[in-house]
Amino acid sequence: MEMLTMDTVQSFIFSLVGAGLIWSVKRLYGSIDDLRRDNARIRELYQLKSDAVRDQEQIMAMLSEIKQSIERTNERVDRLIDGIGSR
């Protein structure tokens, strides 16, 4: 039976260390891929602050137009009622 030489022991240790490093690097790349997917999903699900501000300004402008339209309609109804009441 052959005895283990120093070269064999070193090769075995380097092989174990190399396998451990390869496994660690694969896990790191897997984690990075998971984070990239999560980041993409967050961009799809959540709105940017600048987009939210723009949307809010558009909604406020539309509400202002609706308010003005209702005020004009109220004024017309008031004029009609005043006209009918004075007859």
Q: pLDDT tens-digit profile of 12-37?
A: 999 999 999 999 999 999 999 999 99
What whole-number distance in Å separates Cα of residue 50 and Cα of residue 66?
25
**For residues 43-61, average pLDDT:** 92
Q: How do the domains of the chain map onto residue ranges?
A: 58-87
pTM: 0.51
Query: Does position 65 have pLDDT exceeding 50, yes or no?
Result: yes
What whole-number distance in Å separates Cα of residue 70 and Cα of residue 82?
18
Residue type, 19: A
What confidence tier does 1 reach under pLDDT thresholds 50, 70, 90?
Answer: very low
